[in-house]
Structure 1
Amino acid sequence: MVKAYLRYEPRLVFGVIVSVDSNISYDPSGKHLLAGALDSVAVWDIKKGICSTSLSPSSGSSHSLAVTSIASSPSSSSSSSSSVASGHANGSIRLWDLSRGTCEATLNGHESAVTSLRYNQFGSFLASGSKDCDIILWDVVAETGMFRLRGHRDQVTDLVFLDSAKKLVSCSKDKFVRVWDLEMQHCIQIVSGHHSEVWSLDVDPNERFLVTGSADLELRFYLIKNELEEMDNSSKWEVLKHYGEIRRQNKERIATVRFNKSGSLLACQEAGRTVEIYRVLDASNARIKAKRRVRRKKEKLLAKTVEEGKENGNLDSLQNVSGMAVLEPDVLVSDVFKLLQVLRASKKICSIAFCPTVSTKGSLGTLSLSLNNNMLETYSIEEGRVEKKHTVELPGHRSDIRSVTLSSDNTLLLSTSHNAVKVWNPSTGACIRTIESGYGLCCSFAPADRYALVGTKSGTLEIIDVGSGTRADVIEAHSAAIRSIVPIPDDNGSVGSGFVTGSADHDVKFWEYQLKRKTETDSKQLTVKNVRTLSLSDDVLVVSISPESKYIAVALLDCTVQVYLLNTLKKFLTLYGHKLPVLCMDISSDGDLIVTGSADKNLKIWGLDFGDCHKSLFAHADSVMDVKFVHNTHYMFSVGKDRLVKYWDADKFELLLTLEGHHAEVWCLTISSHGGFFITGSHDRSIRRWDRTEEPFFLEEEREKRLQEMFESDLETNENKYALREELPEEGSVGVPGKRTQETITAVDIIIDALDTAEDELKHYDEHNVDQQNGKSGQFQPNVMMRGLSPSDYVLQAISNVQTNDLEQTLLSLPYSDALKLMSYLKDWVQTPDKVALVCRITTVLLQTHHNQLITTPAARPILTVLKDILHARVKEFKDTIGFNLAAMDHLKELMSMRSDAPFRNAKAKLMEIRSELSKHSGKLIDGKRKKKKQKNSSKDHVGA
């Protein structure tokens, strides 16, 4: 009987705040910050410091899906949904609905990692640049590529739209800036002058200036010429005109330049710890500053002339200078851009992003930074200072995770790094405690899980109080790094009253737990006492104890493993065989097997009874860093520097599963007591939880899958090699936006099968009609595979299931005979109103691809003639319908605006009525006063008379 195993699958990823290789971006509302977190996009609430959403691909994750670029659609903050685009290391682009957290589409077109993404101002187009030196323009609404722009000779580093998305400006590591006319699909200007790679560019919201940043010591500024401006024939194609340069304060290369939403600030991020922030003055203030500059220059010249005149006795030059007319000065770039502040971060800055909204009074803007130590910082930029407002640092370590361990009831997870110990909830990934510590290389929970032990690189043993989140005690245990902490189990296999530490100072020390009071008023606290010491001849790398406390195994730097009797410390066995030092080992729960993992990339399975090597397995492509047995089984997991986690059967010596997901070396792992899940920690600062499912799998199926994956990877590698052999593209050439993938090949096979099935069905139906005409009785039996659909509808369903972005590449891969069959169905499909656009796309691609063959094939002429008459009429009807609907929507918009303004108009009318009434009453009062005054005056006159 074939043995079945249960599959392990990834369930949770936590500990990563922001990746080093990705940029950050705000959503249109300014409430959330989008940051690339390995293969997902984390949506952070900066004020609360929590991750509200994680946009993760549904398919199995691997290092090829690492997020390399993020762009947010510039839709209004009142919009119910906003689109986010994420570029990945394999060249794919994913479009996300931020409100629902779902992936709306996957766009495949680039051969290498996506380096830059930029939406146009309406969010309808998306431009992407890649390491393959190409630029692709995508239609976000139709979820398809429009065209590919070729011309750069090195990777594209940044992009920006101009002139209402009619033009596109790109920069590259080839030291050039190119201006593309998207209507003509051609490069219309090449801007040179940079002496090194151009890393970033941006344009202010008013499209007056374009700034570029490179490894040069200056920021370069260009004036943008609009089509409305009058241009002479010589500069008709000149869109960018060099305006000037500003010398930077630092010498490191520029990584990012960005304007804020209002265009009043410019941030220049360098490939270090500083960001230079410039104030952008408006035209009037810039003119005032230019006049002040000219006035100061004139005063200096006047003072200099006075001194020279007194020395020479000639005052004519003084009169000439004083009589100079003050002309309108030219506004230089230094008059427009004024250095405001230099922001210095604690660590190297990876990316910056301006918040589109300003929340506090007196603040000019809000700038967020992503640091290379897994942190996010937000600063408020004011007139005279830069103040730090928010920091996101608690949900992750500042460096790689070196060790992880689970509590006895699997409800707490402890992880160590170079400066902190963190306690996690392994079910939710929430960080419960963060405790400062030394460089922790190993850790373990003490009995009752109230305390934890951490062995540091300096040789100290730290006792952590998990409940209060404090460091209870620090003990000078060893004189060198502590590399292993192992609890001593009781006879029943549970955690006992002591533990063992192994260090690079050649000692293995045995410790006992004790509860003591520091003072009489204090409560009892855990401390430890050294009871025995085993001195060895070389550095101790790892220690392991058998579950029945019978043996202790010690791996030394001399590539051997020494096995001792635990009670007497007498040498029992010596395990030879590894060519490089043993970095990890574990003993099975029944005490029969011991497995060792080494820097020589091998796993060796030994018997503890005689010390014989049962099997040597080539396990990983790099050093094996940790290995653990599943409790009460001979199944084991191993991790290595090759980023992989592998699942083994130690009895059959078979590889069961290979789990991908980590993006860097995997340092450590820990398995739950029941084996239902395990945790891994990596150099990419992520902690991943893998759960056992109820889905069974068989070894033969897994072997076939691995062979198929190897075959597909070889095909992709060969295709890339052939692509590299091709000549470089022509200057400014335009190419097809998509690329051939496994999905397009599968779609081609499905369409060909559907065409063959439909053709057989039509033949079968014609034969049935002939039989009926000849008097043969019988009922027509349709093909069950067609599920009751007609041949035309069956083929239409097959081609409608193809992704919009993959349709063009799928049609290009169709043979001519099948393309001709497909064209015969188009006249039926065009009668369906919602399929007119699809039919137009299919017809266009097939005519462009097979034009020469179609005009020479007699059988194709009737099809083309029918399509010519029907397609034009249907497209015109479709166009009229869209125009009618647009007009109706404009009319409805006007009605809604009138209704929304009606309350204000009514209120305004009421105010006018109240004002008129008040004026009437005030008029009556004034008239009454005047009458009284006249009567009083008349009475006075009468008395006087």
Structure 2
Amino acid sequence: MEHSYLRYRSLWATGVVTSPSCKIGVDHDKDEELVVCGAVRDVVWWSPSTGKLVRTFRGEVESSGFESSPNDGGRGEVVAVAVPVATDAALKHAVAVAYASGVVRVYRGRDEEDRFEVEGHRGAVHVLRWCPAACWLCSGGANGELVLWDCVGERGAWRLAGHKRAATDVCFLGSWTGGGTGLLVSASRDATIRVWDRDRCVETISCEAPAMGVDAAESRVASAGDDSSLRLWEFSSSEENLGSSSSMRRARPSEACQQLRFSPDGSKIGCLTATCLEVYAEQRREKKTKKRKRSLLVLVATVFPTDRPRSFGFLRDSVVVFGTRANTLEMRGVNDDDRDDDVRKIGVLGHRSAVRSLSLSSDARSVCAASAGGLKIWATASPTLERSLAAVKKVLSVCFVPGDSEVVAGAKDGSLRIVDVASGIDTEATPPHAGAVWALDAAILGNKICVMSGGADRELKIWRLAKSRTLKLTKTLDVEDEILAARFVCDVRFVAVATHDACVRVFFADTLKFKLTLYGHKLGALCVDGTTDASLLATASADKTIKLWGLEFGDLRRSILAHDDAVTALLFFRDTHYLVTASKDGALKMWDADRFLCVQHFKRGHVGEVWALAASPSGDRVYSGGADRSVRAWQRTDEPVFASEEAEARLDAELRDDRRETHAAIVAESSGGPSADRLADAIELARAEDAKTDDHHHHHHQQPSVLLLGRTTARYVLDALAAVPSPDLETAILLLPLDLLTSLLDYLAATLDATNLELVARAVTTAVKLHHKSVVAHEPLRAVLNTLRLSLRDSLGAERSIYGTNLAALRLAAFTT
């Protein structure tokens, strides 16, 4: 009976305020304005007034372990959100979400289960926009196609194909309810603006305007892009077209416009660049009458957020909210006197950069994540932040000290700091490393708390935690190359060190004496771990493989191509031989080290590189962190998993996946039966013609068959043999009856010459191999083969002589030149 395992499912994810790949939206609710953001796979609502997380909609909930989804892997990332602007719309609480896979999901209200999905794009969706009544939704894809969705009927209405490059923005004009004359305006990277009347393009404007905005009255459209102009277009309901009403040069023409939006009252226009927000306002009419050539738009404020902006939205009371690339939301006030006031910043719950290291406390109640912005300690029961510790330097590694009252962090500048979890006070250990600290581990060694560190300076250091809660250096070991990973393994009996020279060295933990070196990886070894029973050691490398070693003699048990990219982390579950690996390809996998099997893939996880892993002592929880800045928890369930069924499900999903970048070159296989039938028909026809020729009574009265086309019977059979495809020749000869095979060899012997020598030799050799027993037992067949043997030997000898002569001539010519 096949061995069964237990499945792990995603439990929660945290650490992301707003994804940099998704522009934010503003929900103008009557009760409270909320900021809607994409958070990797999820959609989150933040309150600008309180800074708290109001609501979260999970991106994917698995219903079956074998069910494949178009949102697996990186394609499950939220890339666009859209919220209806009008508060009196039919679906005023709705939100539309687009994924990198092309799937569009619409939540009708505040109930996560009240939703529907549509799929009409072959690639990622770049833009989403609601019509004023929230009955129609338009999505624009990376290939330039626009799809209009009927959200009442939950179906696609029209596919608009006109743009040659990716769509960048869309907006609705006019009335889209009843028999209204509504228009759709779209912008693209192909330097055109197109105006659509439902299913047809009515106007095309050549304009560098990848960003657009429409006012609340749906009567004016603002456009800007890579050029230095900001244009304002007015919609004419009678003529159903756009007319340029005004144009001006932007205040910062060297920076391209990334996003353009009107304020809720339509009095201001925000133009977002790579560094700031330019706020423009329309001049009053009496000023226009005094000087007609003067532009209608004037710059009233320039707002510079603290971090690089990715998107923005207008709130009430002249407040703008920025979604930044640093995983924060920043609210600032906009005044007409060209000043900006700080309002609020939401970012304490977000990691500033990729999560490079994870460490779990000994009681499994807290998990510490390290990133460039510092350390964050999360509660494992629910994703609540217990402590946020800012760091001046970029933190690369972290580990809890036994007792869980301190955390040790290693930085890129080589410093090693011990941080008190309760107070947040940190103390630097001396002397520091001379390079980045890539490896950290802590354990109780000889009744003393010891911390091991290693990094780019090629030194492995053992520190002892003193009573003053400081680190004292006790031992230093020089290693041949940079240390990328170091672990206490096998219940602190050994120290395993993975280095950049693709080797893993094992030392005794108490004395640091050398035990053995493991060779085999082709690229640098990135991670290492061992079983608690000291029988196995697992190593992983940038060469995409994991290797299992016997720890007693250092013998290689198995090398497995585990991932599609470098394997960045691995760990054994305590008291088991089950192994979990993480990779830069974004996948997490569980392995059985005794059977060398991949047990399962952790589905619907990270959408980027995975850098860190941690697991509870009982193995019921696994935690992962990666480049998407999130920390994810995986819970072991009671659902059984069979490795063979998982492998079949993965193969079926790959075969059904039409979005793969590469495909196998599938060649239709032929059985050779048709070729054998045609060859047999040719031999039978030739034999019939020869029988007619041998009949002296009808010799002068019978005409040869027209199928011979004037050829002799032997030449006709030879041509039929040459028409057999080369891959089918063996099968065709195998399927011939013995009497037809004898006739075939007779005809080949009669037509053997220099022009068909290769074909005849191959056919005769194949026939002898396939029908050896029949040749031995059949006298007429042996006689034919004797004739062919002599003829082929002479012919092949002549060919060999010609080849030798030509080769000698070529060598002589090369020598003389």
Q: Above 0.5 in TM-score? A: yes
Instruction: Give the corresponding residue for 2:320.
Output: 367
| Secondary structure in structure 2 of the residue aligned to 1:118 | strand
Query: In the superposition, relative to structure 1, how do residues 72 and 478 fare at CA in structure 2: closer, same or farther (>3 Å)?
Result: same
Pick the aligned partner of 2:455 from 499, 503, 511.
503
When you count helix as a share of all residues, which structure comes out higher?
1
Give CA-to-partner distance per residue, 1:882-931, whole Å, 9 cap, x none: xxxxxxxxxxxxxxxxxxxxxxxxxxxxxxxxxxxxxxxxxxxxxxxxxx
Pick the aligned partner of 2:166 from 147, 151, 155.
155
Query: In the superposition, relative to structure 1, how do residues 546 and 112 fare at CA in structure 2: closer, same or farther (>3 Å)?
Result: closer
Instruction: Give the corresponding residue for 1:608.
Output: 551
How far residue 143 of structure 1 moved from its aligned partner, in angstroms, is 1.3
Q: Distance in 1 between matches of 2:383 and 2:365?
A: 11
Query: In the superposition, relative to structure 1, how do residues 616 and 449 fare at CA in structure 2: closer, same or farther (>3 Å)?
Result: same
| Secondary structure in structure 2 of the residue aligned to 1:638 | strand
Instruction: Give the corresponding residue for 2:147.
Output: 136
| Secondary structure in structure 1 of the residue aligned to 2:153 | coil
Instruction: Give the corresponding residue for 2:365.
Output: 411
Pick the aligned partner of 2:252 from 249, 270, 291.
249
- Of 241-250 and 500-509, deviating more is 241-250
Letter of the 2:205 partner, please give it.
Answer: V
Q: Which runs of 5+ in 2 are unaligned?
A: 63-70, 177-181, 666-817
Instruction: Give the corresponding residue for 1:54.
Output: 56
Aligned residue runs from structure 1 range 444-593, under 5 A: 444-490=399-445, 496-516=448-468, 526-593=469-536
8 Å contact from structure 2 (residues 98, 128) kept in 1: yes
Letter of the 1:247 partner, please give it.
Answer: R
Instruction: Give the corresponding residue for 2:115.
Output: 104
8 Å contact from structure 2 (residues 462, 474) kept in 1: yes
| Secondary structure in structure 2 of the residue aligned to 1:100 | coil
8 Å contact from structure 1 (residues 440, 455) kept in 2: yes
Pick the aligned partner of 2:197 from 181, 195, 204.
181
8 Å contact from structure 2 (residues 566, 584) kept in 1: yes
How far residue 111 of structure 1 moved from its aligned partner, in angstroms, is 1.4
Give CA-to-partner distance per residue, 1:491-511, whole Å, 9 cap, x none: 7xxx95212111221211111
How far residue 470 of structure 1 moved from its aligned partner, in angstroms, is 3.0
- 1:377 to 2:333 alignment: no
Query: In the superposition, relative to structure 1, how do residues 719 and 189 fare at CA in structure 2: closer, same or farther (>3 Å)?
Result: farther
8 Å contact from structure 1 (residues 625, 641) kept in 2: yes
How far residue 631 of structure 1 moved from its aligned partner, in angstroms, is 0.6
Aligned residue runs from structure 1 range 835-854, under 5 A: none
Query: In the superposition, relative to structure 1, how do residues 708 and 407 fare at CA in structure 2: closer, same or farther (>3 Å)?
Result: same
8 Å contact from structure 2 (residues 26, 34) kept in 1: yes
How far residue 717 of structure 1 moved from its aligned partner, in angstroms, is 7.1
Q: Distance in 2 between matches of 1:64 and 1:246?
A: 39
Pick the aligned partner of 2:398 from 438, 443, 466.
443
Letter of the 2:441 partner, please give it.
Answer: V
| Secondary structure in structure 2 of the residue aligned to 1:27 | strand
Query: In the superposition, relative to structure 1, how do residues 699 and 27 fare at CA in structure 2: closer, same or farther (>3 Å)?
Result: same
How far residue 483 of structure 1 moved from its aligned partner, in angstroms, is 1.5
8 Å contact from structure 2 (residues 454, 461) kept in 1: yes
How far residue 151 of structure 1 moved from its aligned partner, in angstroms, is 1.2
How far residue 534 of structure 1 moved from its aligned partner, in angstroms, is 1.3
8 Å contact from structure 1 (residues 462, 475) kept in 2: no
Letter of the 2:275 partner, please give it.
Answer: R
Aligned residue runs from structure 1 range 342-361, under 5 A: 342-355=302-315, 357-358=316-317
8 Å contact from structure 1 (residues 454, 462) kept in 2: yes
Query: In the superposition, relative to structure 1, how do residues 239 and 404 fare at CA in structure 2: closer, same or farther (>3 Å)?
Result: same
Instruction: Give the corresponding residue for 1:6.
Output: 6
Give CA-to-partner distance per residue, 1:159-190, whole Å, 9 cap, x none: 111121311111111101111112xx311111
| Secondary structure in structure 2 of the residue aligned to 1:102 | coil
Query: In the superposition, relative to structure 1, how do residues 77 and 450 fare at CA in structure 2: closer, same or farther (>3 Å)?
Result: farther
Q: Distance in 2 between matches of 1:509 and 1:51?
A: 42
- 1:45 to 2:50 alignment: no
Instruction: Give the corresponding residue for 1:685.
Output: 629
Instruction: Give the corresponding residue for 1:781.
Output: none
Letter of the 1:373 partner, please give it.
Answer: A
Letter of the 1:497 partner, please give it.
Answer: I
| CA RMSD, 1 decimal | 2.2
Percent identical across equivalent pairs?
Answer: 31
TM-score w.r.t. length of structure 2: 0.76
- Of 658-667 and 684-693, deviating more is 658-667
8 Å contact from structure 2 (residues 450, 462) kept in 1: yes
Query: In the superposition, relative to structure 1, how do residues 509 and 58 fare at CA in structure 2: closer, same or farther (>3 Å)?
Result: closer
How far residue 238 of structure 1 moved from its aligned partner, in angstroms, is 4.0
Give CA-to-partner distance per residue, 1:63-118, whole Å, 9 cap, x none: 21211111112342799961111111111111113422334110111111111111
How far residue 22 of structure 1 moved from its aligned partner, in angstroms, is 0.7
Instruction: Give the corresponding residue for 1:399.
Output: 353
How far residue 591 of structure 1 moved from its aligned partner, in angstroms, is 1.3
Give CA-to-partner distance per residue, 1:388-415, whole Å, 9 cap, x none: 2111110011111110000000111111
Query: In the superposition, relative to structure 1, how do residues 116 and 475 fare at CA in structure 2: closer, same or farther (>3 Å)?
Result: same
Q: Distance in 2 between matches of 1:130 and 1:263?
A: 28
Pick the aligned partner of 1:644 from 575, 584, 587.
587
- 1:277 to 2:279 alignment: yes
Query: In the superposition, relative to structure 1, how do residues 391 and 201 fare at CA in structure 2: closer, same or farther (>3 Å)?
Result: same
Q: Distance in 2 between matches of 1:530 and 1:718?
A: 53
Letter of the 2:39 partner, please give it.
Answer: A
Query: In the superposition, relative to structure 1, how do residues 555 and 80 fare at CA in structure 2: closer, same or farther (>3 Å)?
Result: closer
Pick the aligned partner of 2:298 from 338, 358, 370.
338
Q: Distance in 2 between matches of 1:715 and 1:644?
A: 18
8 Å contact from structure 2 (residues 399, 441) kept in 1: yes
Give CA-to-partner distance per residue, 1:710-769, whole Å, 9 cap, x none: 110158779999xxxxxxxxxxxxxxxxxxxxxxxxxxxxxxxxxxxxxxxxxxxxxxxx
Letter of the 1:256 partner, please give it.
Answer: Q
How far residue 123 of structure 1 moved from its aligned partner, in angstroms, is 1.2
Q: Distance in 2 between matches of 1:578 and 1:589?
A: 23
How far residue 423 of structure 1 moved from its aligned partner, in angstroms, is 1.0
Q: Distance in 1 between matches of 2:297 and 2:527?
A: 59
8 Å contact from structure 2 (residues 531, 576) kept in 1: yes
Q: Distance in 2 between matches of 1:595 and 1:601?
A: 13
TM-score w.r.t. length of structure 1: 0.66
Letter of the 1:601 partner, please give it.
Answer: K
Give the 4+ runs in structure 1 shifted more than 4 A.
77-81, 714-721
Q: Distance in 2 between matches of 1:716 and 1:592?
A: 40
Instruction: Give the corresponding residue for 1:630.
Output: 573
Q: Distance in 2 between matches of 1:125 and 1:391?
A: 34
Give CA-to-partner distance per residue, 1:808-854, whole Å, 9 cap, x none: xxxxxxxxxxxxxxxxxxxxxxxxxxxxxxxxxxxxxxxxxxxxxxx
8 Å contact from structure 2 (residues 89, 133) kept in 1: no
- 1:119 to 2:130 alignment: yes
Q: Distance in 2 between matches of 1:331 and 1:504?
A: 65
Query: In the superposition, relative to structure 1, how do residues 419 and 207 fare at CA in structure 2: closer, same or farther (>3 Å)?
Result: closer
8 Å contact from structure 1 (residues 353, 369) kept in 2: yes
Q: Distance in 1 between matches of 2:27 and 2:242?
A: 30
Q: Distance in 2 between matches of 1:587 and 1:643?
A: 23
How far residue 451 of structure 1 moved from its aligned partner, in angstroms, is 0.8
8 Å contact from structure 1 (residues 202, 258) kept in 2: yes
Count residues in correspondence.
646
8 Å contact from structure 2 (residues 185, 193) kept in 1: yes
